[in-house]
Amino acid sequence: MTLIKCTKLTKQYSRGSDRITPLKNLDLEIERGKFIALMGPSGSGKTTLLNLLAGIDRPSKGELIIDGSPIHTLSRNSLAQWRAQHIGYIFQLYNLIPVLTAYENIELPLLLHNISRKERHKRVSNALDIVGISDRYKHYPRQLSGGQEQRVAIARAIVVEPTILLADEPTGDLDRETGTAIMNILRKLQEEQGQTIVMVTHDPHTTKWADILLHLEKGQLTEQVAT
């Protein structure tokens, strides 16, 4: 079943007198529950596509349908509400708030939702358990290793039970052993939770966890390979 459908998706912006087109007439369909790896050289449009899927940015042209919702037509406020309900985002550099504990960082997105404190505690505890750091919930980011910080970032992304989990270089700042552990967590989320994952990566080693490898070149899809 198709979850994400891009039709002639284009993103343009101006830089001085220049017109930049990081994404051009992209056609793409992603099925629910699939793990997609996205590769390509710098400037190929990978992060642009990720930001469009996240509702962080808006397309200049074309259509973007996610789970039946025409994302390209939503107002700024509607897009923000949709993003809070449907998107989990994992950043390469974690983006944790240093004055909050691991528990509080994970709980933060839930404060945007109308749910009880008891339900928030249940979801945070479950997310901590999934990523294997229940014993670090009182620790601040400065008290955690890089791998532990990324686990907190993953827990924060999945605590809202998102429709799509987006990951931008999730192992880029980690050593190989820690990166492998992070990739195993992502694959577990797909296999056991049915999570749909779209991951941008420069590391060919990480693509073996994905179902499909996409290659972008100059804003266009050049190759799609089953891994």
Boundaries of every domain in the chain = 2-226
Q: Nearest Cα to 83, choosing from 164, 155, 12? A: 164
Query: Residue 109: which pLDDT band, with cuts at 50, 70 and 90?
Result: very high
Question: pLDDT at residue 76 above 90?
Answer: no
- At 63 the pLDDT is 96
Mean residue pLDDT across the chain: 93
Q: Long-range contacts made by residues 67-70, C-beta under 8 angstroms, separation at least 24?
A: 67/3, 67/163
Confidence of residue 188 (pLDDT cuts 50, 70, 90): very high
Answer whether CATH 1.10.760.10 is correct for domain 2-226. no
CB 167 within 8 A of CB 189: no
pTM higher than 0.85: yes
Q: What is the reported pLDDT for 189?
A: 95
